[in-house]
Every structure is written in structure tokens, then in C-alpha cells.
């Protein structure tokens, strides 16, 4: 046997009545009851040299830097196990029907409202318990890697116009939107006593079967899939996210216009179960495939933080532009407009008004540049160059909405929307003066086991953006014998979407939420290439810069956003 492996599963007991759920950003999307439990599932893998890889998948919307920090502290203080932080990957399966309030960043608190210490502590406790169980149940094991393509229509590309902008993709019609996804289901299986007993698979489809008017906690389709799989006697089944950024569980092609997102109440929970069971059925086919090759080799990992607001993009990833770079986080009108498939945001009137005001604001800034300080000229020029065609509604770094930092005097009144009321309350309370509304210090991670490389990514990638990043990393790591690069989105932190440069120009929902600008994918390709190049060196010869660390929030700032 090549490894010692343990598995763990623990409930996340974060039920709290009337707080907002995380995912849709809708103040009315509050918790009243629970439809399903939420779980954290963990795998602890130890190789023959004593190196450890810990993989966790949690049934919440995303992971925050603060959650990762607290888990690592508890692991070091309570487990007394020999592991390194770089080899711990914590991911989320991205349900939109779980409580929010666990991020320290203000943007993710506005609709909850506020930071919810009780929810945060419950999530940390549940994750840690699953990791602890896994660390205490180590058994001699092998692992292998198998892959298949799903053959059922259970996922569709929701942004086909943008998908079809990419030259490498063949044109896909609305009738065949299921062809514009990453249909691979990739699976790592655990083998004990010659029997395949557990697995983790990666397949990309949004966990948004349950919509924005829901009031019942649910793990959505991925959770139903795991539950269905495990009830058949398997030790552990992790249904992790793959490349899901532009992938919906809802069909939305011709002939179905009147049924678009028509499920509500119990119907959408039933649909989540059906979609999950379809994923489980596809996983069972792959789970039952014969073993062709046992994975051998040592565990090796690195994690490094970068300021993604200030990345200079390598020319090969810059789409032919000189001086391509990222900028401070800005959210476009199209982000607030939502998607017609998985949750509409602004009304048509507000959408049109916001686009008009953002265009007027940009025009005003350009005209007034000669009368501004040199520092302000540089900031505005760079922002509009980097953000390109995005119609900026919110500047998360400078705390601006439609150009103003005087949020309490924002033209939209408090009574118009509870989220606006909360933003104004926090502004008056000086509750977010210390830091950006969104994270910009983000971790990227590569963990190798034999011919496998697991890529910890802090966001959600469209199908084509994810494939490009995967190919970029594989092109470097194949020199070290890597044959499979497994993208693990929603890992260790969260910062929104990553689209291709071509997709970004259309400014659909995903592009409006690609906060660091039109060269964001190029920035990830640049930094992952640098890390991969270090990974092919001997451990002692690597130059990993660990001086950049995630932002630490003061108790004072969090207390002003806590109810």
C-alpha cells in the first residue's frame, strides 16, 4: 500500500433564523428552516515519507481566508499531527442555500446583514471535526484516478454568447447548450483491502437548483448527490465543483422560455434532489470502472499569496496588449443585474439607469482629469484602462457606489432596500474604513501526488477560462511527470469570477464579477506558471515568497458589522 488514508464527515450546525443566505445577495433570501443538513467532508492522505495532504469539501457557498486561518490554527493546536499548511486545501461546493455572514469582507455581509460570529464559529467547528475524524482513522490504502464524461443533460452553459466568442470553441446553439460545458467527471478513488470504498470527484455545475426566494437551508444538488451516493454503503463521496462559472443546472433553450426558473418552493428542492441523483448516477459509473493504475509517489505542495490588484501579466497571456495588468476590485452593472437563468438582480429600469449613470460618471471623470491631482489622474486612467468595457457600479477598494464615497447620501433611500439600508448603516458607523470591501490578497496552491496535480483556485472560472489555466499549468508540470491537472475552484478564499479576455468584452454577468479587470485570467496564468516552475525544482531550490499575507481584520471593525 502506498498511503495511509482516513476520511471524516461532520455536520455544520450553522442554523440561525432570519439571517441571509450567501449566494444571491438578496436580503429577502433568509433562513427560516432546514431542508437538509450541511456537511463537511475531509480526506487525510499520508505518504510513506510522512508528507500529508488534507482535502476538505464543505457544503457552503465559498471559503474565506478567515475560515482557512482558523482551521489551520485549530489543526496545529489540537491535532498534534505532522502536516504543513501548504498541503491543506479547503474547498466549498458552492450551494446558494446556506447561511452567510462568515466572511470578514463587507461586501459579503451587506445582505445578511452584518458579520455573524455564530455562523463563522459553527462552520469552523464542523470543518475541523471532519478533519480530526480523518486524521484519527488512517488505514493502509491506495488511490487511483479515473475519468469519464457525463452523458445526461443535467448542466447547460448559461452564457453561450460569451462562450462562443472563444476561438478554440466550436459554435454551440441554444438547443445544444449542454455541449458547452466541461463534461468531464474526474475522480480520485480510495482503495482499502482491495476494495474501492470512497471517492472525490470534480464536475462543474452551479449548485443553484434552489433559487433566491428560498428560506430553507439546503446543500442543493451537490449535497443530494453525496447523500445518495453514501447511502449505498460507500464510506465517503465528495462531489466537488469543477469548471462551473458559466454552467447552470437549468435548461434554458428554445421551447422552454416560459418555464425558465419556474420552479419554486418544494419544486426547486425536488429538482435539486433529481439533479443530484443524476450526478450520483454518473459518478457510480465511473466509481465502478476497473482500476488501471495505482498512483504512486510522494506528496508535495506549495501555496503562495499574491496581491491580485497589482499583477503585471506576462506577454504570452496578455492577448497582444502591452503593459497588461490587473487593478483594484470593481463590480460592473452586469453583475448586479444577475443572470436570467440562476437569479435575476436589478429590474430592467434600474439596470438601464445604472448603465446610464456609470457611463456619465466615466465621461465626467475623463473630462475632469486635467483638473485633478497627478495621483488621482493615474488612479482613474488605470482603473478605466484595466476594467475596459465594464460599466462600473461599485469600486470595492475605494468604497464607492456610482462614484460617491458619501454612501449615507446615496440617492437610493434606505427604505427602498434592506441591503442599501445596511450599507448606509455601516457607513455611518464607520464599519468598513480599514479595508477593501472585497479580498485582493489571494492564495494560489499546487499539490502534487505522483502524476496528479491539484490546483487550489480562489474563485469560479468559466469553462474556457478554466481549461486555458489548466493547460497553462500542465504545460509546465508535465516536465515533472504530471499527467493530470485537476482544477479545484472555491478553494481557500473567494474573489468572484474569472472569464477569458474575449468573454470579458461582452460584459455579461460573469464578466461584471471579474473584479480585477479584463486581464484577470492572464494574471492567474502568470502567477500559476511562476509557481509551477518552482514546483518542478527540488524543494530546497525553490524560491517561494511568503512575505505577502492575507489581510487581518480588527475586532473593532468586525464588531461594527455584527448584530
Residue-wise pLDDT for 61-78, tens only, equals: 999 999 999 999 999 999
Give me 478's grid cell: 508535465
Residue 125 lies in a domain: yes
Q: What is the Cα–Cα distance from 527 to 255, expressed in whole angstroms?
A: 44
Q: CA distances (Å), 519 to each of 359, 388, 447, 457, 541, in order?
A: 21, 10, 25, 16, 31
Distances (CA, A) of 16 to 19, 112, 208, 378, 506: 6, 11, 21, 46, 39
Domain for residue 555, yes or no? no
Strand partners, 199: 189, 237
DSSP alpha helix (H) spans, 441-545:
463-477, 501-504, 509-512, 520-535
| 8-state DSSP, 216 | E
On whether residue 399 sits in a domain, the answer given is no
- Nearest Cα neighbor of 370 from 360, 380, 361 is 380
Helix (H, G, I), strand (E, B) or coil at 352: helix
The dihedral sign for the CA sequence 380, 383, 385, 388: negative
What is the model's pLDDT at position 257?
53
**How many separate domains does the chain show?**
1
Cell numbers at residue 148, please? 469519464
Q: From CA 424, how far away is CA 414, in angstroms rounded? A: 7
At residue 94's C-alpha, the angle toward residues 90 and 95, to 5°, is 130
> 224 in helix, strand or coil?
helix
C-alpha cell at 335: 453583475
Flag whether 487 is in a domain. yes
Range(s) of the domain holding residue 79? 3-304+440-541
Listed as ranges, residues in the chain with pLDDT below 50 are: 258, 260
- SS3 for 527? helix
Query: ∠ CA 153-276-21 to the nearest 5 degrees?
Result: 115
> CB neighbours of 122 closer than 8 A, spacing ≥ 6?
12, 13, 14
Tell me the C-alpha to C-alpha distance, in Å, between residue 544 and each of 87, 444, 536, 540, 541.
14, 12, 13, 10, 10
Q: Give the burial string for 32-61 (b: 16+ CB within 10 Å, else e).
A: eeebbebbbbbbbbbbeeebbbbbbbbbbb
In a domain, 468, yes or no: yes
Is 343 inside a domain boundary?
no
Cis check: omega of the bond before 113, within 30 degrees of 0: yes
pLDDT of residue 258: 47
SS3 content of the chain, % helix, strand, coil (to 5): 35, 25, 40
Instruction: Name the nearest CA neighbour of 362 among 339, 343, 381.
Output: 381
C-alpha dist (Å) from residue 462 to 456, 469, 521:
15, 11, 10
> Residues 402, 409: contact at Cβ < 8 Å?
no
Domain assignment of residue 370, yes or no: no
On whether residue 135 sits in a domain, the answer given is yes
Closest-CA residue to 274 (of 285, 289, 263) = 263
- Closest-CA residue to 159 (of 96, 95, 94, 248): 248
Amino acid at each position: 500500500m502506498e498511503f495511509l488514508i482516513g476520511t471524516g464527515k461532520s455536520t455544520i450546525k450553522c442554523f440561525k433564523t432570519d439571517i441571509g443566505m450567501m449566494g444571491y445577495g438578496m436580503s429577502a433570501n433568509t433562513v427560516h428552516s432546514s431542508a437538509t443538513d450541511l456537511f463537511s467532508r475531509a480526506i487525510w492522505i499520508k505518504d510513506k515519507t510522512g508528507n500529508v495532504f488534507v482535502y476538505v469539501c464543505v457544503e457552503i457557498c465559498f471559503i474565506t481566508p478567515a475560515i482557512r486561518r482558523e482551521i489551520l490554527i485549530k489543526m496545529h493546536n489540537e491535532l498534534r499531527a505532522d502536516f504543513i499548511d501548504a498541503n491543506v486545501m479547503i474547498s466549498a461546493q458552492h450551494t446558494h442555500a446556506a447561511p452567510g455572514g462568515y466572511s470578514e469582507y463587507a461586501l459579503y455581509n451587506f445582505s445578511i446583514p452584518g458579520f455573524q460570529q455564530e455562523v463563522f464559529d459553527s462552520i469552523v467547528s464542523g470543518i475541523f471535526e471532519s478533519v480530526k475524524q480523518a486524521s484519527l482513522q488512517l488505514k493502509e490504502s491506495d488511490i487511483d484516478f479515473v475519468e469519464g464524461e457525463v452523458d445526461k443533460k443535467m448542466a447547460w452553459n448559461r452564457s453561450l454568447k460569451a462562450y462562443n466568442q472563444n476561438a478554440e470553441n466550436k459554435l454551440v446553439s441554444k438547443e445544444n447548450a449542454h455541449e458547452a460545458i466541461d463534461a468531464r467527471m474526474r475522480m480520485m478513488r480510495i482503495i482499502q483491502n482491495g476494495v474501492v470504498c470512497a471517492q472525490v470527484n470534480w464536475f462543474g455545475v452551479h449548485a443553484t437548483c434552489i433559487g433566491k426566494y428560498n428560506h430553507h437551508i439546503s446543500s442543493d444538488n451537490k449535497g443530494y448527490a453525496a447523500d445518495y451516493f453514501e447511502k449505498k454503503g460507500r464510506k465517503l463521496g465528495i462531489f466537488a465543483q469543477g469548471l462551473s462559472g458559466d454552467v447552470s443546472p437549468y435548461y434554458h433553450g428554445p421551447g422552454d422560455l416560459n418555464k425558465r426558473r419556474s420552479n419554486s418552493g418544494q419544486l426547486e428542492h425536488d429538482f435539486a434532489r433529481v439533479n443530484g441523483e443524476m450526478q450520483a448516477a454518473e459518478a457510480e459509473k465511473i466509481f465502478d470502472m476497473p482500476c488501471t493504475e495505482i498512483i504512486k509517489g510522494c506528496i508535495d505542495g506549495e501555496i503562495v499569496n499574491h496581491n491580485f490588484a497589482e499583477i503585471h501579466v506576462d506577454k504570452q497571456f496578455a492577448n497582444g496588449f502591452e503593459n497588461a495588468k490587473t487593478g483594484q476590485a470593481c463590480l460592473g452593472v452586469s453583475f448586479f443585474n444577475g443572470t436570467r437563468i440562476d437569479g435575476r438582480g436589478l429590474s430592467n429600469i434600474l439596470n438601464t439607469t445604472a448603465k446610464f449613470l456609470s457611463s456619465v460618471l466615466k465621461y465626467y471623470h475623463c473630462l475632469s482629469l486635467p483638473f485633478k491631482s497627478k495621483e488621482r489622474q493615474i488612479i482613474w486612467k488605470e482603473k478605466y484602462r484595466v476594467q475596459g468595457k465594464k460599466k462600473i457600479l461599485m469600486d470595492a477598494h475605494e468604497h464607492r457606489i456610482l462614484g460617491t464615497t458619501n454612501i449615507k447620501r446615496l440617492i437610493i433611500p434606505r427604505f427602498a432596500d434592506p441591503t442599501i439600508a445596511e450599507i448606509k448603516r455601516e457607513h455611518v458607523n464607520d464599519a468598513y474604513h480599514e479595508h477593501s470591501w472585497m479580498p485582493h490578497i489571494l492564495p494560489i496552491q499546487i499539490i502534487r501526488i505522483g502524476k496528479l496535480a491539484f490546483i487550489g483556485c480562489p474563485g469560479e472560472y468559466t469553462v474556457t477560462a478554466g481549461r486555458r489555466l489548466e493547460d497553462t499549468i500542465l504545460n509546465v508540470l508535465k516536465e515533472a511527470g504530471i499527467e493530470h491537472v485537476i482544477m479545484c475552484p472555491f478553494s481557500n478564499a473567494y474573489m468572484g469570477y474569472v472569464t477569458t479576455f474575449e468573454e470579458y468584452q461582452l460584459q455579461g454577468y460573469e464578466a461584471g464579477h471579474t473584479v480585477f479587470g479584463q486581464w484577470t485570467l492572464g494574471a492567474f496564468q502568470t502567477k500559476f506558471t511562476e509557481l509551477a516552475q518552482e514546483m518542478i525544482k527540488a524543494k530546497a531550490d525553490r524560491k517561494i515568497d511568503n512575505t505577502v499575507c492575507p489581510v487581518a481584520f480588527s475586532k473593532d471593525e468586525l464588531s461594527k458589522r455584527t448584530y
